[in-house]
């Protein structure tokens, strides 16, 4: 019988984040009954500002509290779980590793354990991981059979998230799948320290964007719409042999350094970027690229958004957002 999202209860943790808001919206469009787990309310977030919350059952809770995880799944009969909730800022994790570990590691095993204890619920479980889980490697691009060896707080938290997910899939025969993406960009990211929203805001204000690195770091950049298609596809295929218990890289296959990203944003906004290069970043992985051949072969997934097209749509959203909310200087 074909998989259907109609009236299927789907729990999304981290719903107020960039990916969470897009995922909730996409699931609603497919007819799912969405349960959104949030920690803090932010009226500026796309989840609230675009009234996505009004079509969801909103559960306020902390992933680090096991009872909150149980309540989110049990009370709403969640059949599919998308675990996106995490502390996602590398600098914040460096300043406060305990909070990062509580959110990302404890939060993951709490949610997985809650699912394990509720037979008949959470039949499909998608974990949002990151290329950071691989840590530093002289061999690139990363492939899924490479070791997970994060060294710094955020990277280690993602390595642990992956290993915990693997444990529950293979020890308890749960239909858990793992998605590893690079730098996700698109409408709704209000973490201005990130290169895409930060650069757009600086150029919108007529300021020079500030680069914490020397601009030569190479990363995978993937548009949020591509990520959503990957997550939903994983959920739909999660019970299949060859997918259940597996991790998949999702990438456009193109790599860009930070300076190039800033220049492309400037081109999308028809201004010269002329960034200030601080070169103050520390304890960050130098170069990261992903090989998504496994996703192409086993899931028939391919990226549909190139960088320039994704940036044009992203810039248009931020222009409207910054103008509408008059948050210049925030």
Treating both helix axes as pointing N-terminal to C-terminal, what angle do 307-325 and 258-268 enclose, rounded to 10 degrees?
60
328 has pLDDT over 60 = no
Ordered by start, the domain boundaries in the chain are 9-182+224-250, 185-219+253-289+305-325
Q: What is the pTM of this model?
A: 0.95
CA distance 177 to 166: 8
Domain 185-219+253-289+305-325 sits in which CATH superfamily? UDP-galactose 4-epimerase, domain 1 (3.90.25.10)
Q: 14-34: per-residue pLDDT in tens?
A: 999 999 999 999 999 999 999
**Phi (first) and psi of residue 70, to 5 degrees:** -60, -45
184 has pLDDT over 50 = yes
Residue 314: CB atoms within 10 A of its CB come to 22
CA distance 169 to 12: 19
Tell me whether strands 255-257 and 218-223 are parallel, antiparallel or unpaired.
antiparallel
Task: Identify any residues that bridge with 81 across adjacent strands, giving them in sequence order.
Answer: 11, 125
pLDDT of residue 326: 57
Give the fold, CATH level 3, of 9-182+224-250: Rossmann fold (3.40.50)
The b/e string for 131-163 (b: 16+ C-beta within 10 A; e otherwise) is: bbbbbebeeebbebebebebebbbbbbbbbbbe
9-182+224-250 matches 185-219+253-289+305-325 in fold: no
Active site residues per annotation: 154
Half-sphere exposure of residue 125, counting CA atoms within 13 Å on the CB side?
Answer: 27
Handedness of CA 53, 56, 61, 65 (dihedral sign): negative
CA distance 218 to 160: 24
Q: 93-121: per-residue pLDDT in tens?
A: 889 999 999 999 999 999 999 999 999 99
Query: Could you tell me which of 105, 82, 107, 111 has the C-alpha nearest to residue 17?
Result: 82
* CB-based contact 265:308 (threshold 8 Å): no
SS3 296: helix
Q: 43-60: per-residue pLDDT in tens?
A: 899 999 999 999 999 999
């Amino acid at each position: 019988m074909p998989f259907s999202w109609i009236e299927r209860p789907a729990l999304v943790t981290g719903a107020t984040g960039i990916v969470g808001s897009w995922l909730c919206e996409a699931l609603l469009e497919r007819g799912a009954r969405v349960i959104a787990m949030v920690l803090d309310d932010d009226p500026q977030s796309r989840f609230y500002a675009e009234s996505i919350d009004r079509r969801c059952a909103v559960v306020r809770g902390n992933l680090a509290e096991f009872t909150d995880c149980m309540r989110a799944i049990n009370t709403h009969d969640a059949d599919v779980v998308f675990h996106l909730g995490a502390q996602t800022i590398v600098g914040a994790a460096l300043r406060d590793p305990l909070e990062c570990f509580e959110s990302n590691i404890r939060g993951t095993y709490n949610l997985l354990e809650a699912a394990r204890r509720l037979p008949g619920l959470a039949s499909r479980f998608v974990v949002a991981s990151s290329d950071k889980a691989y840590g530093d490697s002289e061999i690139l691009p990363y492939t899924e059979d490479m070791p997970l060896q994060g060294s710094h707080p955020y990277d280690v938290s993602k390595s642990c998230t992956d290993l915990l997910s693997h444990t529950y899939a293979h020890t308890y025969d749960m239909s858990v799948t793992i998605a590893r993406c690079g730098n996700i960009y698109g409408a709704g990211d209000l973490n201005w320290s990130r290169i895409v929203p930060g650069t757009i805001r600086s150029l919108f204000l007529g300021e020079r964007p500030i680069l914490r690195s020397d601009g030569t770091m190479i990363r995978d950049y993937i548009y949020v719409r591509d990520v959503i298609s990957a997550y939903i596809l994983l959920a739909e295929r999660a019970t299949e042999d060859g997918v259940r218990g597996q991790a998949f890289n999702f990438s456009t296959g193109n790599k860009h350094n930070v300076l190039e990203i800033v220049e492309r944003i400037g081109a999308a906004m028809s201004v010269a970027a002329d960034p200030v290069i601080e070169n103050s970043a520390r304890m960050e992985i130098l170069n990261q690229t992903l090989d998504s051949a496994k996703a192409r072969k086993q899931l028939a997934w391919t990226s549909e958004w190139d960088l320039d097209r994704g940036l044009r749509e992203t810039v248009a959203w931020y222009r409207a957002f910054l103008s509408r909310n008059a948050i210049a200087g925030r």
